Amino acid sequence: APSATPRDHARALQLFEQIEKERRGDAQLQNLIGALRAELAERRRLEEKTRDEARRADDAEHKLDALKAIEKNLMEREQRPRRP
């Protein structure tokens, strides 16, 4: 599920392992479990990538805000009258 937590993912893997042990001779079920494991692994990889990209975007936004503050400070300094 899209809102699944890491705990949910771990539970799903446990259930896959349990079913695999119980139904070793069922090739179709083994194939289905393999496909579900692959889908879960891909989902986890994409979720991690999304979190990393969001973190990088936040970092970039903080840096941009800092640069804007520096630029504003420099512009204010230039506008101040100079003392003779």
pLDDT bin (cut points 50, 70, 90) of residue 57 is very high
Residue 2 has pLDDT above 70, yes or no: no
Q: What confidence score (pLDDT) does residue 83 get? A: 67
Q: What confidence score (pLDDT) does residue 58 get? A: 98
Q: What confidence score (pLDDT) does residue 79 get? A: 85
Q: How many residues are there in the chain?
A: 84
Which residues are within 8 A (CB) of 81 and not within 5 positions of it... i.e. 6 or more apart? none
